[in-house]
Structure 1
Amino acid sequence: MALTAAGSGHGQLAMVAGIICAATVLFSLTVLATTIHRDNLEHHNIPSLLNDSWEVTPAFARRRGAPTAIEPHRAG
């Protein structure tokens, strides 16, 4: 929208659209960075914005330096 507004001579609308675009990019990067940081602090297997549940890597595996993505054990 900013490029279209600037190309058609609407400087004020181009400025508003550019500011909205920049704010959207900054907000999305902030959400992504805080999600990854929180997942790393709580030792989650995979940082993900789409999953609402996850398996925590066992403490013994973290101590011996195993990869963080360990499949959960399934009985049966």
Structure 2
Amino acid sequence: MVAFATLAMALTAAGSGHTQWALVAGLICAATLLFGLTVMTTTVHRDHVERHNAPSLLNDTWESTPAFVRRRGAPQAIEPRLTR
């Protein structure tokens, strides 16, 4: 939402000839999008590592996927093996 607002401000400033403000608003827009993408990516990665059912930024508790469901999909020949 913030990224769209700053994008609109950047486009308006650029269209009206205020290039400095357009540059500032564009940088804020890019930083906001990059931060949001980073937060979503790290959340999905953390949820995959902890074997949560679905990635969620707002839910504090998750149901773990049962072990038999995690094992059921791949044949034994291609399952990863733990090395000691």
Report the TM-score when normalising by structure 2. 0.72
RMSD, aligned CA:
0.9
From the two aligned structures, give the one with the greater helix fraction. Answer: 2
Higher mean C-alpha displacement, 17-26 vs 43-52: 43-52
Q: Note the C-alpha offset of 1:63.
A: 1.2
Q: CA deviation at 1:7?
A: 1.1
Q: Which consecutive aligned stretches of 4+ in structure 1 deviate over 6 angstroms post-superposition?
A: none
Aligned length: 65
Q: TM-score, normalised by structure 1?
A: 0.79
- Tell me the residue number matched to 1:40: 48
Structure 2's unaligned 5+ residue stretches are 1-8, 74-84
> Tell me, which stretches of 5 or more residues in structure 1 are unaligned?
66-76
Question: CA offsets, 1:47-74, max 9 Å, x none?
Answer: 1112111111122221112xxxxxxxxx
